[in-house]
Amino acid sequence: MKTRDEVRALFRTKKVPLTHQRLAVYEELSSRNDHPSAESLHASLKRAYPSLSLATVYKTLQTLHQMGMVARVDSPAAQARYDAIVDTHHHSVCAGCGKIDDLFDASLDRLPPPRLEGFVVLGHSVHFHGLCARCAKASAPKPR
Amino acid sequence: MKTRDEVRALFRTKKVPLTHQRLAVYEELSSRNDHPSAESLHASLKRAYPSLSLATVYKTLQTLHQMGMVARVDSPAAQARYDAIVDTHHHSVCAGCGKIDDLFDASLDRLPPPRLEGFVVLGHSVHFHGLCARCAKASAPKPR
DNA sequence: ATCATTGCAAAAGATTTGCATAGTG
DNA sequence: CACTATGCAAATCTTTTGCAATGAT
């Protein structure tokens, strides 16, 4: 949990203007552990900031995500994507082009169950995110 | 990869009518390993079945999912959900109520990297799906 | 013959965009 | 002051739904 000053510093460092709205969205999200949607955040913030628009919440979440300050829970795909393989297996997702590859690895199929009171595990999957060979090659040679 | 007869048998067993459309959607999805969206499947199938509607593809994917014959890649949430915690951590997702809980477990933070030629791993996360205590309690006492 | 599925079109839900105004550095 | 973000409304994209016609068992 970052202090307000740490947040200010982060914005300054990255040269991104820090507005009231951005701070409010970030602090609201930080204070919650229920992984809210943009709409849910907007609803909560409306009380304190009646003029805050939903579009701004979306834009702000995008900005914060680009800054690496917030994560989207799991699938980065906007659209639902399907798989005919229903047995346990895993995925790699390329942050560059969105390509999803199947990963079969028995050592990932058995993991310690979550220590969560009463939770009945039906399955699990591991999600590696990063850059596929092609995208890694495209971005590596040119930085700076 | 199931044979056509195995598919027929599955439908018969579950007493779900097997239509041409359902077989076509399932076979198309099975033949691809790129985790297509509903729209992408529809586009591919249009050539062979010009009258196939996108709504049917959506309905069929739902049906197949309920039958346990297809999986949705990772997040079952229709809406994007966010997290202010960007360090490595994991999630449990309740299939009943959709609740997402954070899971901190150092033994999950180090996993063998995917054996994927050239893939640069930036991070990973483990996704347990199942039933939270409340939903497990609600569904357990009454089966049958 | 009965009951579920399909296709169509409209509706609903989620996210993005254009533009004038307001706010930040 | 220069530049970017905001709010609004419209646009876009994804998914769902109602209903008459069709198809499966």
Per-residue model confidence as pLDDT tens digits over B88-140: 999 998 888 888 899 999 999 999 989 998 999 999 999 998 999 998 988 76
Element (H, E) at B130: strand B120-131
Mutate to test the interface with B, among A34, A35, A101, A111 (most CBs of B within 10 A): A35
Give strand D nucleotides closer than 7 A to any protein Cβ: 4-10, 13-18, 23-25
User: CA nearest A71 in B: which residue?
Assistant: B83
Tally of helices (H runs) and strands (E runs) in chain A:
6, 5
pLDDT of residue B143: 39
B122 shares a domain with B69: no
Cβ–Cβ contact A119 with B under 8 A: yes
The pairs formed by A24-28 with CB atoms below 8 angstroms and a separation of 24 or more are A24/A48, A24/A49, A24/A52, A25/A56, A25/A57, A25/A60, A25/A61, A25/A64, A26/A60, A26/A64, A26/A69, A26/A70, A26/B84
A67 shares a domain with A12: yes
Q: Is residue A15 part of a domain?
A: yes
B64 shares a domain with B17: yes
pLDDT of residue B142: 46
Task: Give the residues of chain A that fall short of pLDDT 50.
Answer: 142-144
Boundary residue ending a domain (A73, A103, A120): A73
In total, how many domains does chain A have? 2
A66 shares a domain with A12: yes
Q: Is residue A113 part of a domain?
A: yes
A52 shares a domain with A96: no
What pLDDT digit, counting tens, does each position of B41-70 carry? Answer: 999 999 999 999 999 999 999 999 999 999
Asked if B78's CB is within 8 angstroms of A80's CB, the reply is yes
CATH number of the domain within which B46 lies: 1.10.10.10
Question: CA(A24)–C1'(D6) in Å?
Answer: 14
pLDDT of residue A75: 56
B69 shares a domain with B10: yes
B65 shares a domain with B126: no
A27 shares a domain with A59: yes
Asked if A30's CB is within 8 angstroms of B114's CB, the reply is no
CATH number of the domain within which A105 lies: 3.30.1490
B40 shares a domain with B10: yes
Q: Is residue B107 part of a domain?
A: yes
Q: Where are the alpha helices (DSSP H) in A15-94?
A: 20-31, 38-48, 54-66
Terminal CA-CA length for chain B: 31
Boundary residue ending a domain (A15, A42, A73): A73
Q: Is residue B85 part of a domain?
A: no
Nearest nt to the B56 alpha carbon by C1': C6
Chain A CB contacts of B62 under 8 Å are none
Q: Say yes or no: Cβ of B45 under 7 A from any atom of strand C.
A: no
B127 shares a domain with B68: no
Q: Is residue A121 part of a domain?
A: yes
Q: Residue B78 above 70 pLDDT? A: no
Asked if A38's CB is within 8 angstroms of B80's CB, the reply is yes
Boundary residue ending a domain (A73, A104, A125): A73
Domain with B56 in it? 4-73
pLDDT of residue B97: 82
Mark residue B35 as left, alpha or beta (left: phi above 0; alpha: psi -120 to 50; beta: remaining): left
Q: Residue B144 above 80 pLDDT? A: no
Q: Is residue A82 part of a domain?
A: no
Q: Is residue A110 part of a domain?
A: yes
Q: Residue B76 above 60 pLDDT? A: no
B22 shares a domain with B69: yes
The span from the CA of B86 to the CA of A7, in Å, is: 14
Question: CA(B54)–C1'(D15) in Å?
Answer: 10
Q: Is residue A83 part of a domain?
A: no
pLDDT of residue A94: 87
A61 shares a domain with A26: yes
